[in-house]
Amino acid sequence: MTLTMTRRTAMALGAQATLIALTGSAAALASGAPRSGTATQAASRTGQRFDVVIVGGGSAGAVLAARLSADPQRRVLLLDAGPDYRADQYPALLANANLVAASPEHDWHYHSDDAARLGHDIGIPRGRVIGGSSAVNAAVAMRARPADFARWAGRGIEGWAWPEVLAAYRAMENTPTGDDAWHGRNGPFPVRQRTAAENTVSMRAFVTAAESVGLPHVDDFNGTRQHGVGPYPLNVVDGVRINTGMAYLTAAVRARPNLTIRGRAETDRVLIERGRAVGVVLVDGDMIPAGEVILSAGAIGSPAILLRSGIGPKGHLGEMGITTVADLPVGERLQEHPFFYNVYALKASAVAMTPAAGAIVWTRSRDAAKDDLDLHISGTHLIDPKASPTGGAIVLACAVTLPASNGSVRLASRDPRIAPRIRYNFFEQENDLDRMVEAVELSRRIGRSAPFSELIDHEMAPGASVPDGQALRRNIVANVAGYQHPTSSVPMGADGDRTAVVDAWGAVRGIAALRVVDASIIPDIPSVATNLTTIMLAERISAHLTT
């Protein structure tokens, strides 16, 4: 990841975080990757040709590979820049659900370019491995809400009404608890509702203290009601984070003769001939022909690949010396949840810190629309215990989950080994900051309430020296991070939406045989962690492609 867990903690405490520089030989490469040759002139170095090439084996790509290769007549290639592990071979740093973005070897080392606005850049951990960011995240398995999909409909997007979406969520899920009307029992993806008994004593106290300030208890955030506080639902089984590589690319799926999975194969660009995608070019120059190309490289990777392929804003492509193939608003609507760490040192009697992900408040700000829940306070122990003078800490991390501010993804170079320029533009809309202040003030109110307050030694961040009001507002801006939920950089939209890049099923406008299927096409960021929704999106689009 861009910041190790210790460094990430330091950012939460307001310390100077040191960004890890990009590794490899990128600086020595020429400014542009090889641009000659066509897919129709040569097959890949393996001599194989594929009906579908999927770029990126993460939360969406692994699903697509499993579903599309179920047809034995369809030859599918799944490419990923990171290593390909079988389900039982993931290293402990990835399998252990109490560690988040803990393995630099499996990260893209992205960071934002927001120093001019915020006074600091923001680390952007993204998984570089089969399983993608589902292999490095906090394993939160919470669905987007009906109100989130109502906003899709408000944009004129058809096919994503709540009854259809709920059916897809249920079909992909296997969970032993909850109401049958809301939960699936036989799907590939495990969802387990954490119980109070499983949580640490301080996490249980956080939930009780939140209830004492007026928040209702929620037994099941994937059920009928989300407003309130309760333990997380997680895709964790016996302490193991079950990523999509594990859940979807099983031994039986991998045994299919028509599915090829190729790890450590980084994609530079899509080959386009006469307005049609005909293959991909890898960073090493290998050209792979394809009947269809699907980009599932995520909200940072997919727009970068499109831009290098000549698909994007004409002015920006001209600046990069790239010929425009399709003038589309790629990278112009990036969104992310701003995140602020309210950190407490635990008393010696309550320093237990596992399991790490425990409980969450999901509520609404004073300015929220009628059906929206736009604030989170996420209770975790995702902090190095050495950062606390008592040897234990709890993080109440606050987020604005329906931000109005938009960021962007742009190329810094034509060289695919140089990270794109990512700007989150947090708090460009003043109301986003207003709502973040409201979330932190609520978090601190919970922190002062029994029984939570009885287990707390002191507030570490922002600390007693930062009172509510303008001082807190300044501290939030100086220390804001990201929730690791980037979306909407290649957004879907109705035919008349000039800000959209793809249609409701991920097809890129004006380019045949090219789709994008990942969090980048979500039209605006949902009010919760995005992993479950990204998986659902891939399930529904793969079903659309196979019917």
Which residue positions form the known binding site for FAD? Answer: 129, 137-140
The residues pairing with 287 across neighbouring beta strands, listed in sequence order, are 281
Would you say 110 and 76 are in contact if contact means Cβ atoms under 8 Å apart?
no
A 10 A CB-CB count for 496 gives 7
CB proximity list for 31: less than 8 A, separation 6 or greater: 321, 413, 414, 415
d(CA 374, CA 394): 22
Q: Which whole-number Å values give the CA distances from 329 to 44, 404, 418, 502, in the listed order?
A: 31, 18, 21, 10
Sequential DSSP letters for 468-530: TTHHHHHHHHHH-EE-S--B-SS-B--TT-TT-SB-TT-BBTT-BTEEE-SGGG-SS--SS-S
For 346-363, b/e burial (b = at least 16 CB within 10 A) is beeebbebebbbbbbbbb
A 10 A CB-CB count for 126 gives 24
Q: With residue 11 as reference, give the H or E element that holds it.
A: helix 5-12
Annotated binding site for substrate: 483
Farthest CA pair distance, the chain: 71
Q: Of 518, 429, 541, give the one whose Cα is nearest residue 56.
A: 518
Q: Is the peptide bond before 462 cis (omega within 30 degrees of 0)?
A: yes
Q: Is the peptide bond before 451 cis (omega within 30 degrees of 0)?
A: yes
Residue type, 2: T
d(CA 351, CA 202): 8
Q: Of 431, 475, 206, give the one whose Cα is nearest residue 340.
A: 475
d(CA 383, CA 458): 16
d(CA 136, CA 537): 20
| β strands within 74-166, DSSP E | 76-79, 110-111, 123-124
In a 13 Å sphere around the CA of 64, the CA atoms on its Cβ side amount to 35
Would you say 294 and 515 are in contact if contact means Cβ atoms under 8 Å apart?
yes
The residues pairing with 73 across neighbouring beta strands, listed in sequence order, are none
Length of the chain (residues): 547
485 catalytic per annotation: yes
Per annotation, catalytic residue among 120, 183, 376, 485: 485
Annotated binding site: 129, 137-140, 483
A 10 A CB-CB count for 198 gives 14
Q: Of 220, 202, 209, 265, give the one whose Cα is nearest residue 447.
A: 209
Burial class from Cβ neighbours inside 10 Å (0-12, 13-18, 19+) for residue 491 reads: buried
Catalytic positions, written as ranges = 485
